[in-house]
Structure 1
Amino acid sequence: MANLNEKNEFNPKQEDLKSNKEDGSGQLLTTNQGLKINDNQNSLKAGERGSTLLEDFILREKITHFDHERIPERIVHARGSGAHGYFQVYEPLAKYTKAGFLNNPDLKTPVFVRFSTVAGSRGSTDLARDVRGFSVKFYTEEGNYDLVGNNMPVFFIQDAIKFPDLVHAVKPEPHNEIPQAASAHDTFWDFISLMPESTHMIMWLMSDRAIPRSYRMMEGFGVHTFRLINENGEAFFVKFHWKPLLGVHSVLWDEATKISGKDPDFHRRDLWEAIENGAFPEWELGLQIVPEADEHRFDFDLLDPTKIIPEEEVPVLRVGKMVLNRNPDNFFAETEQVAFHPGHLVPGIDFTNDPLLQGRLFSYTDTQLSRLGSPNFHEIPINRSINTVHNNQRDGHMRQMINTGKSSYEPNTLGGGSPAQAKIAEGGFASYSERIDGRKIRERSKSFMDHFTQAALFYNSQADYEKDHIVDAFSFELGKVEVLDIRKRMVGILTQVDLDLAQRVADNLGIKLPKEPEYPMNLSFPADADPKDYQPTKKKDNIGKSEALSMSRTLKNTIESRQIAILAADGVDLPSLEALKTYLEKVGAVCKIVAPRLGFIKGANSGEMEIDMSLLTGASVLFDAVYVAGGKQSVAALKKEADAIRFVNEAYRHCKAIAIAGDATAFMEETCIKGTGVVSPENTKNLAAQGVFVMPIGDSTVGMEPVDFVQAIAQHRFWNRTDTVKVPV
């Protein structure tokens, strides 16, 4: 039958494509060769906690097809930003590892770091609610070492065979390519509500960690458990952390959505400008080290990538510092072409049998072959080792190295035996010798089945305002889900984390709180498995808190590189403005004059100052704090500007520090701040408690040191006023 479009016109292209269409509903799962698949949940391993086997043709086919689905941008982490810098260890770590760059405090190891979002395309916004990639390439004297991580320490899934499913679910839905760079849609929550192992990660994703203030103010994690190996062959389990010296800070969701409209490159621009201005981002490398003998002393499995090691159980040892001090010269040549791989190791660092990590070891090389078009991607300058490469891997598309001599094999005599294998004493890499004794099976270790205890630990550890934000995030995301059964299933999952959380989300969604989870577990375990073997275990009783999991306890001792907006117009009290601006810049802040128009503003008596941004292009969401300058004429002009009033209202709504010149109170009476009490110098105590400061009037402001305002900016936000005043924005 002919295919008609909306105008009842014959569409030959639709008819032509008809033979290629396929509906898989109601069908059994198969490989691309038509082989029916019995278990699509677990990769083939040597024992239930053993290494993933290369012979797993189902895993290889699935991952290979997934890795080649997009060209040329990355399938995930497509949108990113990068910078050069160096890493320097504080003290030798010979007790734990023989890695050279971790044992020489005099050595500055070059690094290239790439930050990214995960789900969106290259053209998406920086402020999506999303995981952030945090990958570091160390150009060590022993070869390149890549620490490929995220800004969250856990992951959605436990086995790499589920990674294509996860990404397919979170990407835009295939029938209409909607929504972009967002998880608030049916396919993602359908998948998550059927995968209880994702519960811990989804708590992180719905927290403020998913909308960081900047790349410079977020943590990084290696996610997996790795091994450190010393010269004596002793091994230690290790979790890698990056701790930002500016603290860990976020933005509000309302703020994030507005930044996406005003400046979708907000994080890229922030990183670039900070480095250009000499405010070099810094992180300390932290290690959680566990002796091999203690592998099984925890109430969770160290090999489970959906689990953390609470810092109260194993403190983070800060061992060195990373500084980013140079922007790329060419975005494409460096940031876009950099190729990371968790399998790029150096002696002294090795893998564990984490089933997610094992799958990634195959996936990354395969992805680079597709994305960069050649097995010689390691010869692209940004990927090139600082050591000269010697091997017999030759030719191929875009080969750059010119190899001389007639031998391209080993062993050989024609080339004098070169290149020869390196002895371990000469720095040769040797994989850790681990005993493997197990059946070849597709199974999940029972030690991986507690999906809720650490999710509850995370939620319990949050400050009240952080819990409120998590409730709002779940309510927003699930409110975008059209299928009611998916919403119900997900709220059922939340009952296993915290009943109050589940009830608040259910109330916001207008649904009844289920008595128990309503996820159909038969969809997330192997076809022939006993469902009882795949039921998640109940969360443990008496779950406490971990202070390290709440951003409320982060560093709040600096305003370095913080962006301060100074609202002003013609007739401004220029001496006071200049005095405040000079002081704030002296302690590291970046001040920008925001006025009704561009050009120059004139002082009340004399002088002028260049304007950085107009109210048309500027917005409070682009700044960390606001100062309203004094001067009768300037204040009168700002009172007439609706955008100026909106600017301050938004800053107040988003809980930012605000300072007011003493004679600018007339302007502030036009804003929502009047609802907090009379705006006057006499009421400064009440205002200061809410992060609003009234400055002295007149000549006394010259040379002033507004310490209280500076300390308020360092606090990042005054979350206690989130709902105190109804702000008309």
Structure 2
Amino acid sequence: MGRCTSHFDRERIPERVVHARGFVADGEFRGFAVKFRTEDGNWSNTPESMHMLTWLFSPRGIPANYRTQDGFGVNTYRMVNAAGEGVLVKYHWKSQQGIESLTEEQAAAIQARELGHASKDLYEAIERGECPRWELHVQMTLNRNVSNVHNENEQIAFGTGVLVDGLDFSDDKMLVGRTFSYSDTQRCRVGPNYLQLPINAPREDVQVNTNQDGGQMSYGVDNRAGNPHINFEPSSVAGLDQADESYREYRPFVSGQVMRAPIERQNNYGQAGERFRTMPQWERDDLVKNLVNLLGQCDKHIQQEMVWHFSQCDDAYGRRVAEGLGIADHA
């Protein structure tokens, strides 16, 4: 009884602190792994956030389910060709099921009776054989639900620093910070040998040499070229071969002072205004209503400043929010 109780006390691992709640399903996607997560943001008086706020507080900010939402990569990466030439890329996944969203009232009604409805929807769709698909020039299909939630969901670990030849980091400061933080979070949350777990390990036909040994829950054995006592390279005794150097990494040329400075040619309001004008009327109505409801809880000087920002995006955008707040004569 004591053994069973002790095991029960330790059957869960801590919640992820850098990832929002999501859902896990296996699929086919030519070697890519994708994790969807919803995004949220804080009120800000900086103009750079207007486009994000316009999306977030419109119905697009509450997807009806995982299947009917597009996916957008947070970070900017770099693709590098065989000649070492690079281009900056951001990944967008386009849902082949179409886009469906919820109003705040619809979401509240669902949440009142069903927790985790999006996870349930995706699970049941795959069980019915209605495998959802997203397209990134190469199609992605989710076609198998996990058989053990703890082993294949709770223990799964992603990191922005795990790249293959042809992909490289950009100068995105957030990506640089996450490259260390994500993997370090997994070492803290799951354990130092989290990469040895089957859900995180490479395919069985891929040989992995990390030169690492020991630590809690260690069971994987690295190939060490015939001598398990050599954990460094190069070595004249044994050890691992050095990596193939035929791949040409991206080598940027930088001239002049490197500094942190504002962008001279700014366009902080153009995208938000374009998005507002291309929304269906019901989405514009819902966006304005959501903003009015939340800004109505703020002090008047904050309301006026936000209305000014919305007006820079589109005159009608700012006017409608101001009218809803009852400050149209003061905006």
Is TM-score (shorter-chain normalized) higher than 0.5?
yes
Provide the residue aligned with 2:261 in structure 1.
443
Q: Aligned letter for 1:433? A: R
Distance 1:356 1:112 in 2: 20
Q: Work out which of the residue numbers 211, 218, 221 in structure 2 matches 1:392.
A: 211
Q: Is the 8 A contact 1:114 1:335 kept in 2?
A: no
Deviation, 1:471, is 0.8
The aligned runs of 1:24-423 (5 Å cut-off) are: 72-88=14-30, 109=31, 112-118=33-39, 130=40, 188-189=42-43, 192-193=44-45, 195-285=46-136, 319-374=137-192, 376-386=193-203, 387-403=206-222, 405-415=228-238, 418-423=239-244
Write out the 4+ residue segments of structure 1 that deviate beyond 6 Å after TM superposition. Answer: none
The aligned runs of 1:259-658 (5 Å cut-off) are: 259-285=110-136, 319-374=137-192, 376-386=193-203, 387-403=206-222, 405-415=228-238, 418-425=239-246, 431-447=249-265, 449-479=266-296, 481-512=297-328, 514=330
Q: Is the 8 A contact 2:155 2:199 kept in 1?
A: yes
Q: Is the 8 A contact 1:245 1:282 kept in 2?
A: yes
Distance 1:225 1:114 in 2: 16
Please list the CA deviations of residues 126-160 of structure 1 after superposition, one character each: whole Å capped at 9, or x if unmatched.
xxxx4xxxxxxxxxxxxxxxxxxxxxxxxxxxxxx
TM-score, with length taken from structure 1: 0.41
Q: Secondary structure of the equivalent of 2:23?
A: strand
Q: Secondary structure of the equivalent of 1:364?
A: helix
Change (3 A) 1:442 1:398: farther
Change (3 A) 1:265 1:443: same
Q: Secondary structure of the equivalent of 2:94?
A: strand
Q: Which protein has greater RCO, CA pairs closer than 8 Å, 6+ apart?
A: 2
TM-score, with length taken from structure 2: 0.86
Please list the CA deviations of residues 312-343 of structure 1 after superposition, one character each: whole Å capped at 9, or x if unmatched.
xxxxxxx2111111001122222222221222
Q: Is the 8 A contact 1:339 1:368 kept in 2?
A: yes
Please list the CA deviations of residues 362-410 of structure 1 after superposition, one character each: whole Å capped at 9, or x if unmatched.
3322322332242x22222211112221022333333232356111111
Provide the residue aligned with 1:592 in structure 2.
none
Distance 2:301 2:188 in 1: 38
Provide the residue aligned with 2:7 in structure 1.
none
Q: Aligned letter for 1:443? A: A
Stretch of structure 1 that moved more, 390-399 or 450-459: 390-399
Q: Secondary structure of the equivalent of 1:326?
A: strand
Deviation, 1:438, is 4.0
Q: Aligned letter for 1:114? A: K
Q: Aligned letter for 1:82? A: V
Deviation, 1:229, is 2.0
Deviation, 1:270, is 0.3
Q: Is the 8 A contact 1:85 1:326 kept in 2?
A: yes
Deviation, 1:486, is 2.8
Q: Secondary structure of the equivalent of 2:63?
A: coil
Higher strand share: 1
Provide the residue aligned with 1:145 in structure 2.
none
Please list the CA deviations of residues 599-632 of structure 1 after superposition, one character each: whole Å capped at 9, or x if unmatched.
xxxxxxxxxxxxxxxxxxxxxxxxxxxxxxxxxx
Identity of aligned residues (%): 39
Deviation, 1:234, is 3.1
Q: Secondary structure of the equivalent of 2:290?
A: helix
Deviation, 1:87, is 1.5
Please list the CA deviations of residues 103-146 of structure 1 after superposition, one character each: whole Å capped at 9, or x if unmatched.
xxxxxx4x65433334xxxxxxxxxxx4xxxxxxxxxxxxxxxx
Q: Is the 8 A contact 2:234 2:242 kept in 1?
A: no
Q: Is the 8 A contact 1:491 1:514 kept in 2?
A: no
Deviation, 1:249, is 1.4
Change (3 A) 1:217 1:457: same
Distance 2:108 2:305 in 1: 27
Provide the residue aligned with 1:646 in structure 2.
none
5+ residue gaps, structure 1, are 1-70, 89-108, 119-129, 131-169, 171-187, 286-318, 516-729
Distance 1:433 1:196 in 2: 33
Q: Is the 8 A contact 1:492 1:514 kept in 2?
A: no
Change (3 A) 1:456 1:345: same
Distance 1:498 1:485 in 2: 20
Change (3 A) 1:465 1:488: same
Distance 2:308 2:184 in 1: 38
Q: Is the 8 A contact 1:87 1:320 kept in 2?
A: yes
Q: Is the 8 A contact 1:207 1:473 kept in 2?
A: yes
Please list the CA deviations of residues 401-431 of structure 1 after superposition, one character each: whole Å capped at 9, or x if unmatched.
235611111111222xx32222244xx5x53
Please list the CA deviations of residues 476-518 of structure 1 after superposition, one character each: whole Å capped at 9, or x if unmatched.
2223x34333333322221221222122112222224655xxx
Q: Secondary structure of the equivalent of 1:227?
A: strand
Change (3 A) 1:446 1:337: farther
Change (3 A) 1:224 1:113: closer
Please list the CA deviations of residues 452-495 of structure 1 after superposition, one character each: whole Å capped at 9, or x if unmatched.
1222122122122221121122112223x343333333222212
Q: Secondary structure of the equivalent of 2:156?
A: coil
Distance 2:138 2:79 in 1: 16
Please list the CA deviations of residues 671-728 of structure 1 after superposition, one character each: whole Å capped at 9, or x if unmatched.
xxxxxxxxxxxxxxxxxxxxxxxxxxxxxxxxxxxxxxxxxxxxxxxxxxxxxxxxxx
Q: Secondary structure of the equivalent of 2:24?
A: strand
5+ residue gaps, structure 2, are 1-12
Deviation, 1:80, is 1.3
Distance 1:359 1:395 in 2: 27
For these two proteins, the number of residue pairs brought into alignment is 313
Distance 1:485 1:371 in 2: 43
